[in-house]
Every structure is written in C-alpha cells, then in structure tokens.
Structure 1
Amino acid sequence: MSTVLEPATPAAVPGETFQETLGRLAGAQKGAKGAPAYSRFVNRKLGRVLAAVAFHAGLTPNAVTGISALCTFSGIGVLALVAPSWPVGVLVAALLAVGYALDSADGQLARLRGGGSPAGEWLDHMVDALKIASLHLALLVGVYRFEPVERGPWLLVPLAFSVVSVVLFFGTLLNESLRAQHGARTRAAHTTDERPSVLRSLIVLPTDYGLLCLVFVLLGAPLVFLSVYALLALATGGFLVLACSTWFREMGRLVR
C-alpha cells in the first residue's frame, strides 16, 4: 500500500537522466520505521525503478495504479480459475509481486511530478482494499474448485486470513486518520533521532504482503503451500492481536 499525498520532490530539470531520477527518488523516500523486510528492502527499491521508468515514459500516477491493478487482479483471477501447478504458481507470484512493486511506484511517481492528489490517494486505497478483500477468497475458490487437497478444515484458512487481512488494513488506515486528526503525524514527522530497526523489519516479515506474494510459487505442492500459508495467517493474526492492544493505548493517549 502506498500513499500518494507525500511531500513533493523538486520538479525534474530538462535533460535529467534515468540515474539522476533514481537518485532524486532515493533521497525522497518515506520513513522506513515499522516496514516489514520485503517491503522495505525489496519492494521499495523495485518501485523506485518502476517509478523512474514511468516518469520518463510520461505516465501519470493514476495510470501506474491502473497497471498495478491489472497485474494484481490478473494474478487473483488465475488463482481462482486455473488448476494449481508449478507454472501457475510462478505466474501468480510474478503478477502479484509486480503489482505490489507498481503499487509502491505510483506514490513515488506522484512525488516526482510535484505531489499527489486526494483523488489519487482514494484510487490507490480502493484498489488496495479490493485486492486485500479478494486475494484470499480467490484462493478459497480455487481450493474448492480443483480440490488439490481434501476439502475440510483447509477451507477455513483462507476465510480466516481474509478476515485478519481486512481488519489489519482497516485498522492501519484508521490509525493514520486519527493520528492526523489529533496532530500526531505532524509531530512524528519532526522526529529524526530514531533510526528504523532492521531487526523489527525481520521480525514482522511474516506479515509482509510481499512475502505472501512469493509464497504462491509453492502452488505446485499444494500441501506444502497451504502449510506455509497457514503459518503466515497465524503469524498475521497474532500480530493483529498484539497491535490492537498497542493501538488502543495509543489512541487513548491521543485523546489527552
């Protein structure tokens, strides 16, 4: 998930090279505090390259969001409509991963072009919401239709993962909204003495959407895939429970 309403980088100078554009993007990244490892160390860098490509191609941030949606929902469609196999797993993982990188690129491109817009942010979040709500349900449809493993408790895992993912997404957006309403985001933006923790990024890696994208490579071995997928669901659910306690206390402090 990217946010396009970020401080803008200076407008491009005539004749700016691709490498110079990448350099400007690298100097205008959002803070890395709390970001899981794949999103922080892999997806953000991929998004930076794609944003620079889109910038020199004359694409708008909304166009990049649209391409991201096309990749992501193509992968989700394959997941629901095509029998699982190793080639299908690679295709699904690639489409989801590219869609995720482009999801990072649209916000970075908005900064290069002078800043985002409320409409662009709305579009970005709506695509994210649809993606998060449909991905696990598409897997559920695929498992039910093609029965790569015996039907039974396995069908509950995508349902549970869907609930957890939607609640986590909503909670994250709600937190950002309440912090902004009470001025917490502004105060945090001026805090520069806290370096983002690499260890924390690694600890929360199981909750990373980017890691989930890559796990679909294992579709050719359904039992292995579902076992790993269930572990990610469990880890994400545990993270949500702990995060809710922390968020509630934080919101209580905002009232004061």
Structure 2
Amino acid sequence: MTTTDSAATSLAETMARLRGAQKGHARGAPAYSVYVNRRIGRLFAAIAYRFGLTPNQVTLVSAAHTFVGIALAASVPATWWSGILIAALLVAGYAWDSADGQVARLLGGGTVAGEWLDHFVDALKIASLHLAVLIGLYRFGGLDEAALLVPIGYSIVATVTFFGMILNDLLKGARGVASTHERAGGTLGRSLLLLPTDFGAVCLVFLLWGVSPLFLVVYAALFTVNVLFLVAAAVKWFREMRRVG
C-alpha cells in the first residue's frame, strides 16, 4: 500500500468514526444544515483531525473564512465574481463551524471554553453579516433607500432568533430538561420547509450578489420567512418555558 493509499484509508476511517459520533439534530432542523453542511463539515473535521487541529483552532479557521466573506460584501463592488467568492467563503466558514464540534467529539468531548468561543463567533457573524449587506447595498447596489430597511430588519430577526435558541437550551439545561439537540429526529418535509431559515440559504443567496435587484428579491423573501418563523417560534418557546417553569 502506498503512502497516498494509507492516507486515504486513514481519512476514510476517521470519517467513519465521525459518522458514529454525530450528535442528534433538532426535530425538523433545516435541510441544508443536516444534509449538506454537516456532511461537508464531516470531511473538514476528518482533515482537521488528521492535521492535529484542536476544536478551537477549527473554530478560528471557520471565523477566518466567514469574516473575510463578510468584509468583502461590505467593501468590494457587487459583481458576479465577488458574489461567487463571498458565497464560497461563507459556505466554507459554515462547514468549518460544523467541523469544530465534530472534532471535539472525536477527541472525547468539548470544553466549556470551546463552546463559549463557538457561540461567540456565531453571534458575531449572524449580526455582522446583514450589516455588511446593508453597507454593500448602500455603496454598490444602486437601490432605493427603502430597500436598506431589509438587511437592518434581517439583522434584528437573525440575532433574536439565535439568542432565543441559545436561551432555550440554557434554561432547559439548568432545569434538567433535554436540550433541542438531544431530541433527534424529524421529517424530511419539515426540514425542507425550514430551509429558508438556514444560515446556509443566506450564504448561497450571495451567488446573486452581482445582480442587486434580483439579490434583494430573494434576500427579502428569506427575510419574510424568517420573520414568520420567529413569530411562530416565540409563541412555541414561551409555552415551553411555562411548562418547564
């Protein structure tokens, strides 16, 4: 067996171990996150593990990809090539974000500091991405000023949704109730229905970045779905908290 064959075998073995160490996903978690991002992240995790990267280092790799993409959205003219580059960086960053937890499970479990770092980076990217869209559309979009209200609203909705999900798990965990991720399962139909709420959908919409009016239409559609999701989720979460309390 050649060195290349041995390396390929080792990578395959690592990915097999990762498949057996997956945490459960929330019921009906968005399809991109479960069926695309997690699988790309598994490959990245296997590569990171083979190179000896720690989970925190993988988180920083994720952050580097994501924030370069966000910076480009705010600073580079909106063209077809810049849109593809931004989308690729955001997709890669999102996959590396999935990889850090998978590497942690390979190593026997994560740390509180690692979980804090992961959530801190997530919160920063969720808030700043839509503000970068605001700046990019203002500088390069040539759109009516009213269109700039969409990324402002999207930043608010995305930030509140993320905070609500984290707060739910925190309050449930403090009272011994299973977190969202511990209740695995869900249907494919529900996953597809929630696809517009996935961060991956926001990453991919940048493929339209070079055509600002078309980008805004799809981006605004995603925003609308996310508003409706947050309203429905807030009612559900409040009822859950009453039962937990």
TM-score range, shorter chain: over 0.9
CA distance in 2, matches of 1:61, 1:188: 19
Q: Using a 3 Å threshold, how does the CA distance of structure 1 residues 157 and 48 change in structure 2: closer, same or farther?
A: same
Cα distance in 1, alignment partners of residues 93 and 180 from structure 2? 32
1:201 aligns with 2:201: no
Partner amino acid for 2:122?
D
5 Å matches for 1:64-103?
A: 64-103=58-97
Distance in 1, matches of 2:181 and 2:244, equals: 13
- The structure with the largest helix share of the pair is 2
For 2:132 and 2:219, the matched residues in 1 are separated by 14
2:16 is matched with which residue? Answer: 23
Are 1:246 and 2:240 counterparts?
Answer: no
Where in structure 1 are there 5+ consecutive unaligned residues?
1-15
Cα 1:120–1:223 change in 2 (3 A) is same
Q: Who is 1:214 aligned against?
A: 204
> Could you list the runs of 5+ residues in structure 2 that have no partner in the other structure?
1-8
Q: What is the DSSP-based 3-state SS (H/G/I as helix, E as strand, rest coil) of the residue aligned with 2:178?
A: helix
Match of 1:170 among 141, 160, 163: 163
Aligned to 2:118: 124
Deviation at 1:132, TM superposition (A): 0.5
- Please provide the CA RMSD for this pair: 1.5
Residue in 1 that maps onto 2:217: 227
1:43 is paired with a residue whose SS is helix
The TM-score, its normalising length taken from structure 1, stands at: 0.89
Q: Give the equivalent residue in structure 1 for 2:40.
A: 46
- Indicate if the aligned counterparts of 2:137 and 2:143 stay in contact, CA closer than 8 A: no
CA distance in 2 between partners of 1:169 and 1:114 (Å): 27
Checking the alignment, whether the CA contact within 8 Å between 2:37 and 2:94 is kept in structure 1 is yes
| Rounded Cα–Cα distance in structure 2 between residues aligned with 1:56 and 1:34 | 32
**SS of corresponding position for 2:144:** coil
Give the length in aligned residue pairs: 236
Give the TM-score normalised by the residue count of structure 2.
0.93
Q: Deviation per CA, 1:124-183, whole angstroms, max 9, x where unpaired?
A: 11100110110000110111122x233321000000000000000000000000110111
Give every structure 1 segment of 4 or more consecutive aligned residues whose post-TM-superposition deviation is greater than 4 Å. 186-189
3-state SS of paired residue (1:215): helix
